[in-house]
Amino acid sequence: MSTDNHHSIEIHMLKKKFQNGFSFSKEHLHLEGGKTITFIGKNGAGKSTFFQMITGNLDPDEGKILINGERFSTESYHLKRKFGYLPQNFSLPTWVSPLEVLRYVVSLYKIPDGKTRIEESLNFWDCYSFKNKPLASCSHGMQKRVALSIASIHEPDFLILDEPFSGLDIFHLESLEKTIYNRKKNGKLTIISSHIAPYIAQTSQEIYGICEGKIEAFDVWESLSFEKKVEKIRSYFGIKSIYKT
């Protein structure tokens, strides 16, 4: 396994306030490569706001975000290229095909041997059979796989996935799990938001809870058994354990 952890996101005294009264804050957080890190919380807790800030799509009101030690903002275009992002409510241009949108992404990131990479990605995410169809004619699950291909085709140092497990069947979940595992092995950082306890327990090396814009770490996470991890996640949401103690 790679020990290259120079891919890092650091947060210092971060604050963001909204007109509806919601606020997000975190004094310090250091997220390192070679890990899959999951953030959990109820709807409206601040997960999407946090993801918007760490991907450079939303500037904080106070504090700073460092990417590999460099100050990050909505203007940091050279650092944004290091990210892949799948929003929970993603939106694709429905008048084009998967092949056309991937060609655009490959040209945008100047990916070497782009044609081969597109073919590999289409096959990996099981999109090849409908690669020439307008996205408007594709199901939500098909579009989700195309969106995952877009987010990952340039092999970003930082892959941010908001509710990635929803909308995928068991075969495509396996592809997602392989992606997450290989990124960890290669020293890259994957950050996930999810409500699905078994997948969180299986894939994550660190987990944080977000409640009313506040982030708290789960202690002694990696030393827990799979069942205890699932139980801990369910307990965070106030759900009784399904396992016998």
pLDDT in tens, 26-61: 889 999 999 999 999 988 888 888 999 999 999 999
Q: Over the stretch 121-142, which tens digit does the pLDDT of each residue have? A: 999 999 999 999 999 999 999 9
Q: What are the tens digits of pLDDT across the range 9-18?
A: 999 999 988 8
Is there a contact between 65 and 13 (Cβ–Cβ < 8 Å)? no
For residue 175, give the 3-state DSSP assignment. helix
Question: Cα 160 to chain center, whole Å?
Answer: 2
Q: What are the structural domains, with CATH classification, of the chain?
A: 1-82+157-245 (3.40.50.300), 91-155 (no CATH)
Percent of the chain at pLDDT exceeding 70 = 95
Residue 243, number of CB atoms within 10 A of its CB: 10
Per-residue pLDDT, 4: 45
The whole-angstrom separation of Cα 133 and Cα 139 is 11
pLDDT digits (tens, 9 = 90+) for 70-113: 999 999 999 999 999 999 999 999 999 999 999 999 999 999 99
Q: What is the pLDDT of residues 187-242, one digit of tens each?
A: 999 999 999 999 999 999 999 999 888 898 888 788 899 999 999 999 988 886 65
Angle made by CA atoms 110, 111, 113, in degrees to the nearest 5 = 125
Structure pTM? Answer: 0.92
Helix (H, G, I), strand (E, B) or coil at 151: helix
pLDDT at 19 over 90: no
Collapsing DSSP states into helix, strand and coil, what is residue 143?
helix
DSSP string, 52-113: HHHTTSS--SEEEEEETTEEE-TT-HHHHTTEEEE-TT----TTS-HHHHHHHHHHHHT-TT
pLDDT band at residue 243 under the 50/70/90 scheme? low
pLDDT tops 50 at residue 5:
no
Q: How many whole angstroms separate alpha carbon 245 and alpha carbon 236?
A: 17
